[in-house]
Amino acid sequence: MENFLASGKRQLKMLFIPDSRKLAIFTTLSLICVGGAIQSYAFIDDIPGIPKPPFYDLLKPFSIWPAWVLLIAPLHILSYILNLTYLLDYLPPLGGVKAPFFSVLYSYILSCWSIYVWDKWLKNDKLKILILLLGIVTAFLMNPPFLLTSLDEVSYIFSGFVLISIVMTLYAVALYGFVKLLFSLVYIFSRRLGSK
């Protein structure tokens, strides 16, 4: 049992220690979180007295909000299940919207888990191309680039496609990792039960 716990501690340490790949993904996801929170002002901009967040006009030509919603959907579902939505009241404002502290924290966890899964299981698996393509195909179906009707929309459509591709690819990798982890745990516990 001690060997199992020591191995678990070592794996957790490997999981959360930052490296350049984790930080690159985390930075991208954090920018999606902050940009998405800023763009959510579009839903409340007609209410008088609510200040415009910084960089709102600068980010308007880009489609960041849909990628942010997809990114934080599991976090929101979990917060509703655990009745933790009141924690948002304690976050500082970012203009007329709340600072996305928890989604940025969640972004770090997702980036660490994705790199861990890649290194431990997916890098040498034959399914890696299929898993990576799954994210891109999903993004294509959600935000098809051929919907361009004018050149003014290029940055909006292209940014939406790229950002949703990143989020959906990371989710495909993360889900693959959860399946592999589940099968590993079932195997470990079945061997332990079988040896008794």
When divided into structural domains, the chain yields a total of 1
The Cα–Cα gap between 139 and 129 comes to 16
* Phi/psi of residue 97, nearest 5 degrees: -125, 165
Residue 11 covered by a domain: no
Coil, strand or helix: which one is 93?
strand
Residue 116 covered by a domain: yes
| Domain interval for residue 143 | 17-194
With 0-12 / 13-18 / 19 or more C-beta atoms within 10 angstroms meaning exposed / middle / buried, residue 20 is: exposed
The Cα–Cα gap between 93 and 175 comes to 33
Residue 146 covered by a domain: yes
Residue 4 covered by a domain: no
- What's the CA dihedral at 23, 28, 30, 31 to 10 degrees? 140
Residue 1 covered by a domain: no
> pLDDT 10s digit of each residue in the chain, 196 long?
567 667 778 888 889 999 999 999 999 999 999 999 899 888 887 777 888 888 999 999 999 999 999 999 998 898 889 988 777 777 776 665 677 888 899 999 999 999 999 999 999 999 999 999 999 999 999 888 766 667 778 888 889 999 999 999 999 999 999 999 999 989 988 887 876 6
Residue 6 covered by a domain: no
* pTM metric for this prediction: 0.86
